A and B are shown apart, each in its own frame.
Chain A
């Protein structure tokens, strides 16, 4: 297990590499990449079982970024963990790249599921967890959902299914960054009490700060001690664009043209 200082440092590195990657392309889903960095750090720095040299290792835990547009943050994480060279991050969205904007398991080593059409990742996670269960394996499947994505009804079909089949090895994070393409969630389509909704579906659920690696790690550990046969939902109370005040303050921060000067300023601050 990595120490929390290391997880903080890893999160910082992921954030820097993600910004560099998006800066090279000049645009992208910046806000929603920033808000999942700490969770990726905890998963890939401490919690998940994987082999970067053998991404298809049969005994690995699986990870699904259901909000597939957060791909660059996942690619930065995978690169830093040695799944592929860090300089691949310079090729984001170029023709024939192995790093498209949205996650693609057929292209990127370490990506377990192709995502991008929102609302489908939790169902796939259920299937993977069921597959582990049939095989008698003790592996986990981790999935990050967007808060805006939770408007897709299929998530709640999947929540019902996971509960019915006692898929205790599904861990779903909801990136509660409160914003989506058209503005604030509460203005577009109110989501209500996310933790309460999962609990009502028979899940173990908790809410933690999405920008605190220690809190996320502790929440996962506590959940695994307490959940019994229930699947686990961890709501990440966070800020879209987190870690870079200029990104956080921008109103339309879901997808934007990333000014190189601003990116450099942010990177310099994070590297200091």
Chain B
């Protein structure tokens, strides 16, 4: 069960500490746990573990494709690999290795893609992946989680630690707004209803969850009640919850820090059109590359602020009332 703790504040504990403490525990308790990084250990905070476990915490240097291959070989000898690089590099750069060396070989691998989408702010367009979700969704049986905050990361990592398959975690590492109380628990394939409403449903994930909550607040002031769902489990999607929301509110607005092509929005749309067709509006990055700037600028640039989301909801409601 989860408990909402949103008040607009940032997490006080760096999420990298949540990750490194989880990893440290796994390395200690399970001799089959290995961690492989491609020269970004410093950013995700595991350099101390690299020193402590030189055998099982490996740095490949800047070679993401080889990193996935090595992790696959480790999996083939009975190890459980966690691998990490920036989301852009660990997916886009190494996608064939993930597809063939890892997934096609039926290896289990936990792939952490840090700073997805606009979270790359000052690194800009080259580092900004909006397409990772679409790519990873095409891998048969893969799991995709768009992490919202600290409590979610810890719970999801614990939920998947003994499962088999390809797991992709989109991990934001900076300016994370706290949404859930510590100790909240999350289930694979089960989305969270953060707020109830009858007029429309916002289905959202990751960095945009807090923005959706802000939008809902603004809309409530105007008498519009929206349901907000954190669909952190992009794959497997919580289809029953999507269908129920379609039936209950008749309008769905999806919002994601990713491309409109092949992301959460399209997953929701397919579910809706196949089961209970209603109007679905996608807020996502449309046929654009990323660009540099502070997060505050980028949220607005791509239409991700609470105010902009609220406007999209109103437009959707208006459109449906006219049809």
Contact = CB atoms under 8 A, between A and B. Distances in A.
B135 to A, nearest CB: 15
Interface residues of A, number: 32
Contacts of B65: 120, 123, 154, 157
Interface stretch (A110-118, A185-193, A200-208, A241-249): A110-118
A69 B134 CA distance: 29
Interface string A93-129: 0000000000001100000111111001011111111
A50 to B, nearest CB: 15
A36 to B, nearest CB: 21
B66 A114 contact: no
B63 A124 contact: no
A114 B104 CA distance: 7
Interface stretch (B43-51, B68-76, B295-303): B68-76
Most buried by A among B55, B63, B75: B63
Interface in B83-113: 96-97, 99-101, 104-106
Given A114-B105, A120-B101, A127-B71, A161 B34 contact: no
A134 B100 contact: no
A120 B100 contact: yes
B56 interface: yes
Instruction: Classify the secondary structure of A's interface with B.
Output: helix
B73 A126 contact: yes
Contacts of A131: 73-74, 76-79
B60 interface: yes
A129 B76 CA distance: 10
Nearest to A64: B73
A241 B100 CA distance: 28
B58 interface: yes
Interface in A72-88: none
A126 B100 CA distance: 16
A86 to B, nearest CB: 26
Contacts of A157: 60, 63, 65-66
A130 interface: yes
Contacts of A91: none
A171 to B, nearest CB: 14
B78 A126 contact: no
Contacts of B34: 134
A195 B69 CA distance: 23
Nearest to B34: A134
A120 B76 contact: no
A135 interface: yes
Contacts of A62: 76
A160 interface: yes
Contact of B105 (A105, A129, A132, A133): A105
Given A114-B105, A128-B76, A131-B77, A161 B100 contact: no
A117 B100 contact: yes
Given A127-B76, A130-B74, A132-B77, A154 B69 contact: yes
Contacts of A130: 58, 70, 73-74
A158 interface: yes
Contacts of A125: 73
Nearest to A159: B66
Given A124-B72, A130-B74, A113 B66 contact: no
20 contacts: A106-B106, A120-B96, A120-B97, A120-B101, A122-B69, A123-B70, A123-B97, A124-B69, A125-B73, A127-B74, A127-B76, A128-B76, A131-B73, A132-B77, A154-B63, A154-B65, A157-B63, A157-B66, A158-B66, A161-B63
Interface of B: 34, 55-56, 58, 60-61, 63, 65-66, 68-79, 96-97, 99-101, 104-106
